[in-house]
Amino acid sequence: MGGKYSQRTTTLIKPDGSQEPGFDLKYDTYYACAIPDEDTVIITGGRYTRNTVSVYSVEGWQEDLPPLNTERSYHACSSYMSGERRVFMVTGGYTESGSTLDTTETLASDEDTWTTTAAKLPRPMRGLRAATIDDRVLIFGGLYNSHYYDDILEYNPDEDSMVVVGHLTQARAYHAVSVVQAQDYTKWCQ
């Protein structure tokens, strides 16, 4: 979806691996973050979309959610369940004015404003990534002041905290993460 040189285009990937042109994005979109949510994807922030949060389906733009409290690009995002509510989370990133962020914001599905939480990253970082695994929000890597980090952090919403739970084998930023089923890949991990 989007990207520096095709900011409003999407490509749909079919189960057989073939692709076809998708829908047009409502906004120029790059350096944003995407949160898959059942049949939609929520796009948070970005270079020109800054504090915009938009919902897209295969039919295209559906709606804008409440804006982020702090504009951000190059940030991490994910979601988790809190009881019956889905909660969207963003953390870190970079502002248009050049500040690197250490803040975290959440938006529950039944709320109409983002909350800036007390949970802070151990340092301001951008280029970090997040994934939710077994309803644990994990944040990987990041960059600050030309230093790449290997941290694996966990956002704990019950304690409103961010704690180091491990380290990557290689420090990295601006990378990709994906949740996969381990049994699909065990033959390559022996």
Terminal Cα-to-Cα distance of the chain (whole angstroms): 35
Domain positions in the chain are: 11-188
pLDDT at residue 176 is higher than 70? yes
Average pLDDT over residues 56-84: 96
Distance from C-alpha of 28 to C-alpha of 3, rounded to nearest angstrom: 8
Query: Is the pTM value of this prediction over 0.85?
Result: yes
pLDDT of res. 190? 62
Which CATH entry fits the domain spanning 11-188: 2.40.10.480, 2.70.98.30, 2.130.10.10, 2.120.10.80?
2.120.10.80
Q: What percent of the chain has pLDDT over 70?
A: 99
Tell me, what amino acid is at 180? V
